[in-house]
Structure 1
């Protein structure tokens, strides 16, 4: 299952890690361990952050993705299931439309 993971790192302890020279090394270890399909570093609500695409076999892998960020950076992690175009095409939207298209909420 492919997931989109957003990571937001608060100013501390990250500033301290930047100042003492450990931030880059720890990020490198975390990324090497998680092995995301892609990762982009950006700001998240005014904090340092990252957005990763990861492929996980099942939900039990989520702690191995989140804990390195939680424990090293006191980060907030958000997980969203993500589909490729191929995944969307396999979902058979036409069947869903036929099944649910006539249902109206009052």
Structure 2
């Protein structure tokens, strides 16, 4: 299932990882593991935030995906099922 991950990072913890040079490593490991079809990094509501859209094979993957964000960044993490335009078209065509 296509899922969008939103991780909103704690500023102090993210600052620590930036100073130590570990934030790029954490993000690269995450991207290597998830192989997102898209990834965006921004500031939202005054906090560093990343969005990644990827294929989640099973909901049992949620802990292994979220825990690095929780433990290393004190992040708030959200998973949201999403569709692309092709998925939407397929879904709408099934309405009858």
Q: Which of the five TM-score ranges fits, normalised by the shorter chain?
A: 0.7 to 0.9
CA separation in 2, counterparts of 1:34 and 1:71? 18
Deviation track 1:9-61 (CA, whole Å, cap 9, x = no partner) reads 01121111212222222222222222222111111221111011010112112
Corresponding residue for residue 52 of structure 1: 52
- State which structure, 1 or 2, has the greater radius of gyration over its C-alpha atoms: 1
Paired residues of 1:40 and 1:52 also in contact (CA < 8 A): yes
Q: CA deviation at 1:93?
A: 5.4
Q: TM-score, normalised by structure 2?
A: 0.84
Q: Does 1:14 align with 2:8?
A: no
The aligned residue for residue 74 of structure 1 is 74
Task: Give the number of the structure with larger relative contact order, counting CA–CA contacts within 8 Å between residues 6 or more apart.
Answer: 2
CA contact (8 A) 1:6 1:79 kept: yes
Map 1:1-106; keep pairs closer than 5 Å. Answer: 1-91=1-91, 92=93, 94-95=95-96
Conservation of the 8 A alpha-carbon contact between 1:34 and 1:64: no
- CA RMSD across the alignment: 1.6
Alignment gaps of 5+ in structure 1: 96-106
